[in-house]
Amino acid sequence: MSKPDSVILCLVDNDPTATLLITSTGEPLYAIRTQRSHPNSTKETASPIAQPHATTTVCRLDRYQFTTGQVETEIGVIRLDGLRDGLGLVHLRLDSNHLLEIGHAAPKLIERHDTTTPEPEPGTDSLTVHDHSWTFTGPDKKQYIWQMFIQSPVLVLADQSFVPLARYRRAKIGIVSRPRKASLEVFPPGIGLMDMVVVTFVAFMRFRVPTDLHAVEVLEG
C-alpha cells in the first residue's frame, strides 16, 4: 500500500484569521472568519490586530451526496478571555468541547553568559527575546507544540519523536522566480487530526506569530 501524500491547504487571502483554505484543485475545505466590531468597516481598518477582542470562528466545509453546495460545521472558536488580560481561549468543538489556553508571546530575559542564545547588545548584560512556541494538550491527551522554524510555523508532537504534523508557508512574490500562494501543509501523520491542526494553526497565527510573518515574502531571484 502506498503512503498517503501531504494535504496542501492554500489560503485564498493572506490573513490566516480571515480566509478560505482550499485544496490544490480549488475545493474549499475550511472557512475562517473574524468578527469585526463595525459591520461596515473595511478589512484593512478592522483587522484582529487592531481589535484584539474580536472572535474568530473556524468552520469545516463538507459536501454531502444529497445536498447542493456545502454544509458548514463549526469546529473552533478563538477569543480573548474576558477575565484574564491578554489570554486567549481556543474552543475545539470536535467530538467534545475541548478548551485550550494561549497567550501572547512571553518575553524572556537572556543573561550574557548564556551561550545558547543570540549575543546581547554591546554594553548590556542581558537580551530580551520572545518565545513564540505554544505547547498544548489535544483531545487525545497527547502533547503538541507549534513553534517557529526558520520563520515558518511548524506543528510537531511534543514527545521524543518530534513527528512533524504541519507547516505553514508564507505567500511569495517572485521577481524572477515563480510566485507561491500562502499554504498550510498537513503531513501524513497529521491528516487524521486535520480539524485540530487547522484550529490551533489559526490561534497560533493570531496570538504568537508577528504580523510581519503573516505577509507576503518577496523573492529577489
Beta strands in 23-70 (DSSP E): 28-34, 56-62
Tell me the CA distances in angstroms from 96 to 90, 139, 169, one per residue in order: 13, 8, 30
Report yes or no: 110 and 127 within 8 Å, Cβ to Cβ: yes
Q: Which of the listed ranges 30-34, 158-162, 170-174, 204-208 does the model predict with the highest average pLDDT?
A: 30-34
Higher pLDDT, 78 or 47: 78
> What element of type H or E holds 194?
helix 194-207
Spatial contact of 201 and 154, defined as CB atoms under 8 Å apart: no
Residue 47 near residue 15, CB atoms below 8 Å: yes
- Look up cell 490573513; give the residue: 15
pTM of the model: 0.79
The owner of cell 550574557 is 112
Q: Report yes or no on 2 lying in a domain.
A: no
Whole-number pLDDT of residue 170: 87
Please check whether residue 137 lies inside any domain of the structure: yes
What is the number of structural domains in the chain? Answer: 1
The residue range of the domain holding 81 is 7-219
Tell me whether residue 179 is in a domain: yes
What pLDDT sits at residue 4?
76
Q: Which of 11-15, 69-73, 108-112, 156-160 has the lowest mean pLDDT?
A: 108-112
Tell me, yes or no, whether 1 lies in a domain. no
**Which is more confident, 56 or 121?**
56
Q: Which of 166, 153, 160, 158 is nearest to 141 (CA)?
A: 158
CB 34 within 8 A of CB 56: yes
State how far the Cα of 66 lies from the Cα of 73, in Å rounded to an integer.
Answer: 17
For 113, the 3-state DSSP assignment is: coil
Say yes or no to pLDDT of 127 above 50.
Answer: no
Q: Give per-residue pLDDT as tens, 100-124.
A: 988 776 555 444 444 444 444 444 4
Q: What is the pLDDT of residue 208?
A: 82
Please check whether residue 80 lies inside any domain of the structure.
yes
Q: Tell me whether residue 69 is in a domain.
A: yes
Residue 3 has a pLDDT of: 65
Q: For the purposes of burial, counting CB atoms within 10 Å of the CB of 199, is it exposed (0-12), middle (13-18) or buried (19 or more)?
A: buried
